Amino acid sequence: MDSLRQSPSPCSSRPSSPRTPPCEMPASVGIEAVLDQLKIKAMKMGFEFNVMVVGQSGLGKSTMVNTLFKSKVWKSTLPGLGVPTPQTLQLHSVTHVIEEKGLKLKLTVTDTPGFGDQINNDKCWEPILSYINEQYEQYLQEEILITRQRHIPDTRVHCCVYFVPPTGHCLRPLDIEFLQRLCRTVNVVPVIARADSLTIEEREAFRSRIQKDLKSHCIDVYPQKRFDEDANDRILNSKIRERIPFAVVGADQEHLVNGRCVLGRKTNWGIIEVENMAHCEFPLLRDLLIRSHLQDLKDITHNIHYENYRVVRLNESHQLPRGPGWVNLAPMNLAHASAGQLTSPRTSKACKQAQEEPKYDF
């Protein structure tokens, strides 16, 4: 838009509205106007964004979501109060429509209470993997219909924020098991939760140990290096990768500090300001998730993770002699699915079923 205003063209026509009469002869073709068209369309349609928060209870997940989106998406409770942690892992989603400057965002947050809280946490990641794959499956089913909806409702998880407890040592076995499995299926952003219990030096030491652990276990968190498209992306994302995992603090109460009203936590020795970069790295997380990389998260989910899922699913039903593009996708065991590993124990039955069904002509 700025280039338009500074354009040396003698005619200061602004072809931003499609209804501008094209009687003038601008020096530029006016392609920049497409950006405006996109913006107007986006404002009308609104955006969807699906986040999942994973971590042990009490690490401030609900508070963080409230702080990120500056609205009471969830009621955060004092420790000790509220619902007791469930015996098994349950997933539970809440959808809100948030509006800012005329732009609507349909935000869905999925919480995972009970994760990592039991004595035996073996395979506690399976319900989460199932859920993620179920969303991919739903989208796939919509996509392969003959008469598709104009806008397929997107419930796929665009980002999974994983809360690492601030032990100060290194990643725990549970963290590693979870991250290894989930990074192949969804964008994972690990954060150091409740970072107000670590001093700056402790945070840096913890962060570098976590980075070492992630590297040695081949865990590729968002932003993934291999998806950087060009040099600009690489520079921008490298800066982010140096600081991952962000040390965050969440708060939903306001306090008065130096005459300003800030979100923070008040203790007997000081007030921790959530949006102050000297106190914690919450602004970095917010910028990553919302201000700069929201669309990128969605794109990677759609172009890479979803496509991986789709390819594997379609390959499983490759024996069907139907017309191009028609597949009969067998119901599958979603808990053990991850890209490259989708195994359907009923593939043969599905094939038989397919052969009995009537042909479709293309």
Residue 281 touching other proteins (CB under 8 A): no
In 3D space, the residue among 159, 144, 151 whose CA is nearest the CA of residue 189 turns out to be 159
Q: How far is the CB of 227 from other proteins (least distance, A)?
A: 25
Beta carbons within 8 Å of 292's beta carbon, 6+ residues apart? none
Scanning 13-21, 129-137, 147-155, 260-268 for contacts with other proteins by CB under 8 A, the matching segment is 260-268
In the bound state with other proteins, the residue whose beta carbon lies nearer, of 80 and 321, is 80
Report how far residue 282's alpha carbon sits from residue 248's, in angstroms, rounded to the nearest whole number: 5
Q: How far is the CB of 129 from other proteins (least distance, A)?
A: 15
Q: Is the Cα torsion angle 75, 77, 82, 87 positive or negative in sign?
A: positive
CA angle 177, 179, 180 (to 5 degrees): 65
Number of Cβ within a 10 Å radius of residue 338: 19
In the bound state with other proteins, the residue whose beta carbon lies nearer, of 147 and 267, is 267
Q: How far is the CB of 305 from other proteins (least distance, A)?
A: 25
Q: How far is the CB of 265 from other proteins (least distance, A)?
A: 6
Q: In what order do the strands lie in the sheet with 159-164?
A: 92-100, 103-111, 47-54, 159-164, 188-192, 246-247
Beta carbons within 8 Å of 21's beta carbon, 6+ residues apart? none
Residue 81 half-sphere exposure, CB side, CA atoms within 13 Å?
Answer: 4
Q: Which of 78, 145, 146, 218 binds other proteins (CB under 8 A)?
A: 78
In the bound state with other proteins, the residue whose beta carbon lies nearer, of 39 and 169, is 169
Q: Which amino acid is at 65?
A: V
Binding mask 30-69 for other proteins (x = CB under 8 A): --------------------------xxxxx---------
- Provide the Cα torsion 231, 233, 238, 240; round to 10°: 160
Measuring CA to CA, how many Å separate 10 from each of 4, 6, 25, 27?
12, 11, 9, 8
In the bound state with other proteins, the residue whose beta carbon lies nearer, of 54 and 354, is 54
Q: Which of 33, 272, 284, 289 binds other proteins (CB under 8 A)?
A: 272
Q: How far is the CB of 288 from other proteins (least distance, A)?
A: 22
Q: Which of 169, 225, 346, 349 binds other proteins (CB under 8 A)?
A: 169
- Residues 295 to 354: which contact other proteins by CB under 8 A? none
- Residues 188 to 217: which contact other proteins by CB under 8 A? 193-194, 196-197, 199-200, 209, 212-213, 216-217
In the bound state with other proteins, the residue whose beta carbon lies nearer, of 15 and 113, is 113
Q: How far is the CB of 297 from other proteins (least distance, A)?
A: 26
In 3D space, the residue among 261, 283, 269, 263 whose CA is nearest the CA of residue 63 turns out to be 263
Residue 122 touching other proteins (CB under 8 A): yes
Q: In what order do the strands lie in the sheet with 270-273?
A: 254-257, 260-267, 270-273
Structure tokens at 59: 């690490």
Backbone angles phi, psi at 256, to 5 degrees: -95, 120
Q: Which of 156, 158, 279, 305 binds other proteins (CB under 8 A)?
A: 279
Q: How far is the CB of 134 from other proteins (least distance, A)?
A: 24
Report how far residue 257's alpha carbon sits from residue 279's, in angstroms, rounded to the nearest whole number: 14
Residue 259 touching other proteins (CB under 8 A): no
Q: How far is the CB of 334 from other proteins (least distance, A)?
A: 21
Compute how many residues bind other proteins; rule: CB under 8 A.
53
Q: Which of 127, 165, 223, 250 binds other proteins (CB under 8 A)?
A: 165
CB 143 within 8 A of CB 151: no
Q: Which of 145, 149, 267, 362 binds other proteins (CB under 8 A)?
A: 267
Residue 261 touching other proteins (CB under 8 A): no
Residue 271 touching other proteins (CB under 8 A): yes
Contact residues: other proteins, CB under 8 A:
56-60, 78-82, 84-85, 117-122, 165-177, 193-194, 196-197, 199-200, 209, 212-213, 216-217, 265-273, 278-279
